[in-house]
Amino acid sequence: MEIPMGTQGCFSKSLLLSASILVLWMLQGSQAALYIQKIPEQPQKNQDLLLSVQGVPDTFQDFNWYLGEETYGGTRLFTYIPGIQRPQRDGSAMGQRDIVGFPNGSMLLRRAQPTDSGTYQVAITINSEWTMKAKTEVQVAEKNKELPSTHLPTNAGILAATIIGSLAAGALLISCIAYLLVTRNWRGQSHRYRVPKCPSPVSSHCLLKPHGFFHKSHHPAHTQSHQILELLG
């Protein structure tokens, strides 16, 4: 059974269209899987910046890095061809930059400067008909400078410590003065109401009277005077 010529032509066109769609889908899927990770995400001046390429196939021919929105010779930083003795070939956009390429498609920018900011693109050549691309934006910031306002908390802490110390010293001084006054008053009252002790309650030589103290005497005249005072009392 023979297939008509028209049917064969339609079948060939359908097969070719399917194959083209499959290749296009594979290319788009590969490009979607390829991306660049910045380490660190927000680099500062004089920091090393690693642009790590993720999703690179196991085998490829070479890769090129560009700095700029367009990818051509004037924006090419370098080309890396794995498997040769000198794999990295610097391009016209390299200038004075210190960049190192790695076999996995990544690159390291040493001591990044604000002038290195821009769009970085990588193009990985799988074969003559298949190139994977990815890009990322890099913004290198100046180092943060210390502002005078950053010292305000320290000055405020010192001021607060000085005030608290002064208040504590004042409170301590007032406490000492109050203690001295209370102690002095207590001692005065103790001296005022103090009663002298007699040698013995039975054979005492002193008599306590409302107006003073009188000592006993064994002299007759003294004994008579003492008796008269007792009668008067």
- Compare 160 and 127 and report the one with higher pLDDT: 127
User: What is the mean pLDDT of the segment spanning 203-219?
Assistant: 44
Q: What is the pLDDT of residue 165?
A: 72
* Residue pLDDT, tens place only, 153-180: 556 666 666 777 777 777 777 876 777 7
Domain of 134, in residue numbers:
41-138
Radius of gyration from C-alpha coordinates of the chain? 53
* Residue pLDDT, tens place only, 7-43: 455 445 554 555 555 555 455 444 458 999 999 999 9
Per the structure, the count of domains in the chain is 1
Question: Can you spell out the DSSP letters for 181-220?
Answer: HHHHHHHHHHHHT--PPPS-SSS-SEEEETTEEEE---SH
pLDDT averaged over every residue in the chain: 75
159 in a domain, yes or no?
no
Classify 2 as helix, strand or coil.
coil
CATH number of domain containing 60: 2.60.40.10
User: Lowest mean pLDDT: which of 72-81, 91-100, 106-115, 211-220?
Assistant: 211-220
How many Å apart are CA 189 and CA 18, to the nearest integer? 118
2 in a domain, yes or no?
no
110 in a domain, yes or no?
yes
56 in a domain, yes or no?
yes
Which residue in 74, 83, 31, 26 sits closest to 54, CA to CA? 31
CB 102 within 8 A of CB 51: no
90 in a domain, yes or no?
yes
Q: What is the pLDDT of residue 14?
A: 57
Strands 107-110, 98-101: pairing is: antiparallel
Question: Can you spell out the DSSP letters for 153-182?
Answer: HHHHHHHHHHHHHHHHHHHHHHHHHHHHHH
- Compare 150 and 130 and report the one with higher pLDDT: 130
Q: What is the pLDDT of residue 10?
A: 47
Distance of CA 99 to the CA centre of its chain: 31
168 in a domain, yes or no?
no
- Alpha-carbon distances of 113 from 43, 49, 98, 141, 170, rounded to whole Å: 9, 10, 11, 8, 57
pTM of the predicted structure, to 2 decimals: 0.52
* Residue pLDDT, tens place only, 40-69: 999 999 999 999 999 999 999 999 999 999
State yes or no: pLDDT of 215 exceeds 50.
no
3 in a domain, yes or no?
no
The token pair that represents 127 in the structure block: 């074969």
107 in a domain, yes or no?
yes
